[in-house]
Amino acid sequence: MIEFKNVCKEYKKGKKVIDNLTLKINDGEIFGFLGPNGAGKTTTIKMMTGILEVDEGEVLIDNINISKNPVEAKRLMGLVPDNPDVFLKLKGIEYLNFIADVYKVSEKDRVEKVKELSEKFEINNVLNNKIESYSHGMRQKLILIAVLLHHPKNWILDEPMTGLDPKSSFELKKIMRKYAEQNNVVFFSTHILEVAEKLCDRVGIIDNGKLLFVGTYEEMKNELKQNKSLEELFMEIIKND
């Protein structure tokens, strides 16, 4: 469970980039976080994961305050950032072992998980190469594998489909659904509204730092009294903000 309680964030005094955000993401659901560029999606994710400080309010990860107990809260989550360019001088397998060490994943479990996921995402043949030699999509796959090694209770993804080939995107969506079915949280931001429409149990729409809508696709259609695609309804909500 991830919960925001009256969260605010300012980069410049008097200019709130996140304005009184109150939101609860439940165990067992895929939650899509939608909004135009600059709406506040990545800032929200950075506060959720402790990268940015919360100016007002609180963020709870399974009832643990990320500001007061950051290490304990971070053990309960896994983040796939919007930029996969990390530790470029390491080999892929070195990076995976480093992450496994941080989260105290046993030798047996990490070997099995790395084999399973690297074959699924088709990068098992490059794990002994340096990450700097990987394409953007291959780096994205490596980050996805690393995050899943310790099976976090809360899986947070920022634009996870970027750079992935169609087969890998399909595999990722299957893993996301299975993960939620195991009573975990899957929270992801995306610009691909067709994916959100088909995959998400609920969505939240943010613009100019304010949460404009939270609910299911069906609830959105009922609220706007229009039987349109999520993309069309999204544009209606943003236009009326």
When pLDDT is cut at 50, 70 and 90, the band that residue 240 belongs to is low
In terms of C-beta density within 10 A (0-12 exposed, 13-18 middle, 19 or more buried), how is residue 107 classed? Answer: exposed
Q: Is the pLDDT of residue 241 over 70?
A: no
Query: Which residues belong to CATH 3.40.50.300 in the chain?
Result: 1-76+153-163+180-241
- Average pLDDT, integer, range 208-226: 90
Q: Which fold has domain 1-76+153-163+180-241?
A: Rossmann fold (3.40.50)
Predicted TM-score (pTM) of the model is: 0.91
Residue type at position 170:
F
Residue type at position 66:
I
